[in-house]
Amino acid sequence: MNFNMIRYLLFRVVQITGLLMILPLVVAFIYKEYFCAEVFGIIIAACLIIGFAGGYKKPKNQAIYAREGFVVTALTWITISLIGALPFQLTGVTKSYVDALFETISGLTTTGSTILSDVEMYYSVQFWRCFTHWIGGMGVLVFILAIMPMAGGYSMHIMRAESPGPSVGKFVPKVRETAKILYSIYFGITILQTVCLLFTGLNAYEALTATFATVGTGGFGINNAGIGGFGYASQVVITVFMIICGINFSVYYYLITKRPKEAFNNDEVKLYLALMFGSATLIAFMIYKQGATATPLESFHHSLFTVASVMTTTGFATLDFNTWPQLARTLLACLMLTGACAGSTGGGFKLSRFLILIRAMKNELTYIVHPKSVKKVYMDGNPVDQSVVKSVSAYLSMYVVIFILSTLLISIDEFDYETNFTAVAATLNNIGPGLSMVGPTGNFGAYSDLSKFVLMFDMLAGRLELLPMLILFSPKNWTKR
Amino acid sequence: MQIIIVGCGNVGAALTEQLSGEGHDVTVIEQKKDVIQSVVNNFDVMGIVGNGASYMVMRDAGIEYADLMIAVTGNDELNLLCCLIARKAGHCNTIARVKNPIYKKEISFIKEELGLSLVVNPEELAANEAAKLLKFPAATSIETFAGGRAEIVHMTVDESSRICNKSLREIQGEIKSKVLIAVVQRADEVSIPNGDFVLRANDELTIVGASRNIAEFFRKIGLPTTRVHSAMIIGGGSTGYYLADQLISFGIDVKLFERDLERCKRLSDLLPQALIINADGTDKDALMEEGLVGTEAFVAMTSLDEENIMLSMYVKSQNPKAKLITKVHRVNYGEIIGSLQIGSIIYPKNITAQRIVQYVRGMSNSMGNNSIEALYKMNDGRVEALEFFVPENSPVIGKPLSDMHLKKGVLVSLINRKGEIISPKGSSEIQAEDTVIIITSQVGLLDIADILEK
């Protein structure tokens, strides 16, 4: 383990966290919240000084291998969360530091679960809360890779540890250029959505915060009524951008570089769109029959919004889907588990993993009937390597184990099964609200501190795709090499 | 530059490391998945698994935007096909590795018709290197600069030599030579010496100067400057063949050992003047019988590194005066092999990679990225020799060297002024349009201005 390099990167992260807080500081000045400005100012100064002092000396040995990549990723996210929680606690928005931490981790991992029953607070703190979604959406280390030159090819280990999906590729030969492309696309989408929202009549603050929460597929709202408080036009814009952000960013890269054939030859995206519109139609039919909405079009609008919100793991709500028919609720719970596409800002298990698993399952069945048959799993018309299939199966096992253990642990708090099950599902998949007590109108505030820690672990594990967190907590990886 | 490398064997891997380290955008195409895996993990490059001669694969690698395609698989025909497809699919320059002697005879036709920019043949390059060393046996390795007029020569100090146990200043006083002892490696330590540095036995020296001055220096310290008269070559592969062919044309007696009888017959067809011996090179009796003790040079060129090294060590014990050349494919253990003191070591993959990298630098210069004309890595990559072109209005012009604030570990070792080779002293000045050879332990100099302390 190259502790020196890990130290160097972490202090860099502290520095960057400080720089990121300049934005809410500006907001505090705009809204004349001088108390908050003071809090942000002190934190920024502390971060910059500590970061500069600790990251001053660049280590000679910059070698980062797979395990350093994983450990540094996990530690980075924990570090940012610890610092990011300070504004909530110091301004008195949350009652305890644990609550503040839960809120920050929920923001950074783009989950959107909250422990607050009243989310209307200081503008600047509110802004920071939504901004954490945007930071976490693309990943902090990818950002660092984009701006910091690193020796050798070591950066790939970091990129692989932080990026979602069963296999991570590069668009262009250099990791740094790839990171830049990803961030440019991310910036582009952010600006586009903000402009669209401004046109639908939101003010700049509302438009920006809603955009952060959408493109990061997070789901924090800025008022208690949630997105339901916005007009239809804004809701439609948000729906469209949720869907856009749930698609693998490589599709956009191919479109920009005028390679439509490669862009559209993507099984995962096809499945994503089919599932999205199929379930939306089905649920629209059900809620129209139930009488929750007045016209069929309105039903479809709300149902598509909800399905997009759940599938991309954003977690916005226009209506309280907790009151919808049982089949619709169960369908939504299933969609929570599938998640969005790999390589997007969305969370969850990722559709590409499901596709690989289902196709491997089909091959396995063929194999039982024809024991001598040799068959490969195909994705996008290309054979998938056996090692990828194996890692996806392993991922599923880890996922299930973490899921069951977490559900068991939080059951200590004596809530009903549906609440606990969906609470874990909503945090491990970075969605936000679950069903029953943690549904769109409820919150996670009632859980004990122990459960909150379990759910925080789930959120981080879900965002970083399990491995970094598991490797961080296995002591044998900490030995000196 | 955008560079595509097809084939990631020995040469491909060395190229990938070198070119990605110099900041080029490198994409590697290779059929073996695990090779790609390790390349992508170790270097900042893109890897594509597939057949480089396939148009689809080439397009995935971005052939449309590539500036250069280098085909270095082990298969000549595949390499040529890659180049052909790359030419047609994109607008890039192409480099192919071609080793079959049959194609070698038609190489100018092939180059012309397929539009190749450069054809490299690792076996032939290795043979050229060996031949160069046999022409000048006192050196352990030779690099030529400035169109052959200047050389960087490595040699080992012998206990009985005139220069042993003397400081550089004393040597200069005694010999009055116009060459520069630029780098001394003692065991594992590499240093750029000053006048008080005292040379010891087994120090490895790097000497820079005009070719004729170097020859003079060697003569004055009592080392042979004429070529060897007889050589034993073990291993009649392509490299062995190329080497024998060249040596015969210089008039050197060649004994070529080859284990395989069929190959021997073929070799005797190709090389009627050589003495082909059908025997195992590791057979002590056969070596003795053919005059191992009397030979002036011994070249171990079998396909097995271990065998070559063992052979050279054995010959050193039996015939310490012979010039030894050992071919080694794996570079990983360079330091250990160097410490064995078995004369010159030839790494075909490094020579090939170096040749290609030189071409890439030239291309890169003409695209205006930097002003390095040539670069050689020495002493296991710890010291670099760089040839720079000095542009007008460069900050190094018109000042005596002794007044310049040079960075630590930077040595201006040679100035080439329109063909005149100058070994610089403290009072020498650099002029515009000179080419200058810098020897440095600072890695990553890109421009002549970089030698100055900021």
pLDDT of residue A280: 93
> At what angle are helices A175-199 and A155-162 packed, to 10 degrees?
40
Sign of the alpha-carbon dihedral angle for A395, A401, A403, A409:
negative
pLDDT of residue B186: 84
Burial readout A237-263 (b: 16 or more C-beta within 10 A, e: otherwise) = bbbebbbbbbbbbbbbbbeeeeeeebb
A170 in B contact zone (CB under 8 Å)? yes
pLDDT of residue A212: 92
Q: Which residues of A touch B33 (CB under 8 A)?
A: 385
Instruction: Kindly report the nearest CA distance between residue B58 and chain A, in angstroms.
Output: 14
Q: Which residues of B touch A175 (CB under 8 A)?
A: 44
Task: For residues B133 and B145, give the distance between their C-alpha atoms in angstroms, rounded to a whole number.
Answer: 16
pLDDT of residue B369: 56
Q: Which residues of B touch A173 (CB under 8 A)?
A: 2, 20, 25-27, 44-46
**CATH 3.40.50.720 domain position(s) in chain B:** 2-120, 230-350
A155 in B contact zone (CB under 8 Å)? yes
Q: Do A153 and B45 touch (CB under 8 A)?
A: yes
Comparing alpha-carbon positions, the chain B residue that sits nearest to A158 is B41
Q: Do A173 and B42 touch (CB under 8 A)?
A: no
Q: Which residues of A touch B2 (CB under 8 A)?
A: 173
Closest to B44 (Cβ–Cβ): which among A66, A152, A385? A152
Closest to A174 (Cβ–Cβ): which among B33, B42, B44? B44
Q: Do B44 and A156 touch (CB under 8 A)?
A: yes
Nearest to A153 by CA among A134, A173, A135, A171: A173
Comparing alpha-carbon positions, the chain A residue that sits nearest to B45 is A173
**CATH 3.30.70.1450 domain position(s) in chain B:** 354-451
Q: Do A173 and B40 touch (CB under 8 A)?
A: no
pLDDT of residue B158: 80
Closest to B41 (Cβ–Cβ): which among A153, A172, A174? A153
Task: For residues B245 and A224, give the distance between their C-alpha atoms in angstroms, rounded to a whole number.
Answer: 88
Task: For residues A374 and A383, give the distance between their C-alpha atoms in angstroms, rounded to a whole number.
Answer: 13
Q: Which residues of B touch A176 (CB under 8 A)?
A: 44
pLDDT of residue A373: 85
Instruction: Kindly report the nearest CA distance between residue B5 and chain A, in angstroms.
Output: 12
- Interface A-B: count of C-beta contacts within 8 A: 35
A383 in B contact zone (CB under 8 Å)? no
Task: For residues B439 and A171, give the distance between their C-alpha atoms in angstroms, rounded to a whole number.
Answer: 38
Q: Which residues of A touch B42 (CB under 8 A)?
A: 152-153
Query: What does DSSP say about strands B68-71 and B2-6: parallel, antiparallel, or unpaired?
Result: parallel
Number of C-beta neighbours around residue B57 at 10 A: 20
A376 in B contact zone (CB under 8 Å)? no
Instruction: Kindly report the nearest CA distance between residue B115 and chain A, in angstroms.
Output: 26
Give the residue from B40, B44, B65, B70 with the most A CB atoms within 10 Å of its CB, the best one to mutate.
Answer: B44
pLDDT of residue B347: 87
Q: Could you give the C-alpha distances from A100 to A14, A123, A427, in angstroms and in order?
A: 18, 16, 16
pLDDT of residue A220: 85
Contact B180, B174 (CB under 8 A): no
SS (HEC) of chain B: CEEEEECCCHHHHHHHHHHHHCCCEEEEEECCHHHHHHHHHHCCCEEEECCCCCHHHHHHCCCCCCCEEEECCCCHHHHHHHHHHHHHHCCCEEEEECCCHHHHHCHHHHHHHHCCCEEECHHHHHHHHHHHHHHCCCCCEEEEEHHHCEEEEEEECCCCCCCCCCEHHHHHHHHCCCCEEEEEEECCEEECCCCCCECCCCCEEEEEEEHHHHHHHHHHCCCCCCCCCEEEEECCCHHHHHHHHHHHHHCCEEEEEECCHHHHHHHHHHCCCCEEEECCCCCHHHHHHCCCCCCCEEEECCCCHHHHHHHHHHHHHHCCCCEEEEECCCCCCHHHHHHCCCCEEECHHHHHHHHHHHHHHHHHHHCCCCCEEEEEEECCCCEEEEEEECCCCCCCECCEHHHCCECCCEEEEEEEECCEEECCCCCCEECCCCEEEEEECCCCCCCHHHHECC
A172 in B contact zone (CB under 8 Å)? yes
Reported ipTM: 0.74
Fold of the B230-350 domain:
Rossmann fold (3.40.50)
A67 in B contact zone (CB under 8 Å)? no
Give the residue from A70, A167, A172, A176 with the most B CB atoms within 10 Å of its CB, the best one to mutate.
Answer: A172
Residue A16 burial class via C-beta count within 10 angstroms: exposed 0-12, middle 13-18, buried 19 and up: buried
Task: For residues B48 and B27, give the distance between their C-alpha atoms in angstroms, rounded to a whole number.
Answer: 7
Closest to A385 (Cβ–Cβ): which among B33, B44, B46? B33
Q: Do B46 and A173 touch (CB under 8 A)?
A: yes
Q: Do B41 and A156 touch (CB under 8 A)?
A: yes
pLDDT along chain A (481 residues), means of 10: 84 90 92 91 93 82 79 90 92 89 92 83 90 87 71 66 71 82 91 93 90 88 78 91 90 87 85 93 90 85 91 85 87 86 84 90 91 86 84 91 93 89 89 83 87 93 86 78 54
Please report where in the chains the tokens 């490391």 appear, as a residue. B17
pLDDT of residue A154: 65
Comparing alpha-carbon positions, the chain B residue that sits nearest to A157 is B41
Task: For residues B18 and B5, give the distance between their C-alpha atoms in angstroms, rounded to a whole number.
Answer: 12
Instruction: Give the strand order in the sheet containing B420-422.
Output: B372-378, B383-389, B435-440, B410-417, B420-422
Nearest to A126 by CA among A216, A23, A18: A23
Query: What does DSSP say about strands B435-440 and B383-389: parallel, antiparallel, or unpaired?
Result: antiparallel
Q: What angle do CA B32, B47, B367 make, to 5 degrees?
A: 130
Nearest to A146 by CA among A341, A44, A16, A1: A16
Q: Could you give the C-alpha distances from A358 to A167, A201, A279, in angstroms and in order?
A: 17, 45, 19
**pLDDT under 70 in chain B at which residues?**
366, 368-371, 444, 454
Please report where in the chains the tokens 């290795």 appear, as a residue. B126
Instruction: Kindly report the nearest CA distance between residue B83 and chain A, in angstroms.
Output: 21
Q: Which residues of A touch B27 (CB under 8 A)?
A: 173
B354-451: what CATH class? alpha beta
Instruction: Kindly report the nearest CA distance between residue A80 and chain B, in angstroms.
Output: 27
HSE-up of residue A341 (Cα within 13 Å, Cβ side): 23
Write out the residues of chain B at the interface with chain A, using a CB-CB cutoff of 8 A: 2, 20, 25-27, 33, 40-46, 62
A431 in B contact zone (CB under 8 Å)? no
Task: For residues B25 and B10, give the distance between their C-alpha atoms in angstroms, rounded to a whole number.
Answer: 20
Q: What one-letter code names the amino acid at B189?
A: E
Q: Which residues of A touch B40 (CB under 8 A)?
A: 153, 156
Domain covering B2-120 in this structure, CATH number = 3.40.50.720
Q: Which two tokens stand for residue B39?
A: 């390349």
Residue A208 burial class via C-beta count within 10 angstroms: exposed 0-12, middle 13-18, buried 19 and up: buried
Q: Which residues of B touch A174 (CB under 8 A)?
A: 25, 44-45
Q: Could you give the C-alpha distances from A399 to A83, A378, A419, in angstroms and in order?
A: 28, 23, 19
Q: Which residues of A touch B41 (CB under 8 A)?
A: 66, 153, 156-157
Residue A377 burial class via C-beta count within 10 angstroms: exposed 0-12, middle 13-18, buried 19 and up: buried
Q: Do B25 and A177 touch (CB under 8 A)?
A: yes
Closest to B43 (Cβ–Cβ): which among A152, A177, A385? A152
Instruction: Kindly report the nearest CA distance between residue B444 and chain A, in angstroms.
Output: 12
